[in-house]
Amino acid sequence: MKTLPQLRQSIRHLLDERHPRDAMAAYFALHHPEAKTQLVTYPADAALPTGYVAVSRTGMDLFRPLLTFRLPPQDMEGSVELIYRTLLPGTAVFMDAPTADVPLIRALFEIQVEEDLQLFVLDPSRFEPVINVLVTQTDAANGLPRFAVRSEAEQGAVVASAHLNWQSPYFAEIAVNTLPRYQRQGWGRSVVAAMVQYLLANGRTPLYVAAAANAASINLAERVGFTDTGVRTWMLQGTLRPKF
C-alpha cells in the first residue's frame, strides 16, 4: 500500500498548482497536514491515476470533512466507484466541486446546501494599499495570520476581520467578515488590503472566493484589485446516498 506522500506524488499530473483554477484542490490534495488528510486514487494503486478524492479535516465542521477531487474524465463508472470507495453511504460531507461534476454529485448525494462560487485573483497593477491604523495583526485559530479592526465602543469587539482559509506555496485564499452594522464603512476593504500586502510580501498570490449572488462581497474584491478568473465551482453540503 502506498504512503500518503507516494499517493500525493502520483496525482501531481492531475493538478496545476500554479494555476488559480487548481489552487484550492492542489492545497488540500498535496499540502494539507498529513494527519488530517486521506487520499484515495483511481484506479487503485495505479502509477498514474486518472482521478482522486481528498478527504480533509478542517475547521469548517467537527463532523463533516471537506471533499476535494478530480474525477476520472469521461468515466462515470470509475467516478462512482471512486466515491463509494472513499465514503460509506450516510457519510455527511462538505464538497468543493467543479461545475462539470455537479450533476453526478447531486445524483450520488442528498444535498442540503449548495452555493455557486466565483473565483477572483489579485491583479497587482490594480492594488492600492490602504493605510488604516486601526488594523491589527494576530494569528487565527489555524495558525495563519489574521487582520482585524476592533471597536472601542464595543469593548474591543472585532467588527471586521480577514483571515486565510488555506495557504499553499503559491496561493492563499482570503476570507473576510464584517459585522452588518459596520458594513459600507471601509473596514472590510481595510483588513483585506492588509492581508493582500502580507501575502505579496511573502511571495503568494491572493485569491478571493465569493458567492455569485453576493454583490457586496464581489464589489469589495474588485475595489481591492481582484479580477474574476471565470472559474466557477460549487460548495455543497450533502450525505452520500446508498449505492444504486
Sketch the domain layout of the chain as residue ranges.
Answer: 4-118+233-240, 124-224
Q: How many CB atoms lie within 10 A of CB 18?
A: 13
What percent of the chain has a predicted confidence (pLDDT) above 90? 85
pLDDT of residue 32: 97
Average pLDDT, the chain: 94
pLDDT of residue 186: 84
Kindly indicate the confidence band of residue 176, based on its pLDDT and cuts at 50, 70 and 90. Answer: very high
Question: Which class in CATH covers the domain with range 4-118+233-240?
Answer: alpha beta
124-224 matches 4-118+233-240 in CATH topology: yes
Retrieve residue 42's grid coordinates: 483511481
pLDDT of residue 182: 74
Query: Quick check: 168 and 31 in contact, CB under 8 A?
Result: yes
Question: Which class in CATH covers the domain with range 124-224?
Answer: alpha beta
> How much is the average pLDDT of 74-82?
97
Cβ burial of 74 (10 Å; 0-12, 13-18, 19+) is exposed
pLDDT of residue 131: 85
Kindly indicate the confidence band of residue 63, based on its pLDDT and cuts at 50, 70 and 90. Answer: confident
Kindly indicate the confidence band of residue 155, based on its pLDDT and cuts at 50, 70 and 90. Answer: low
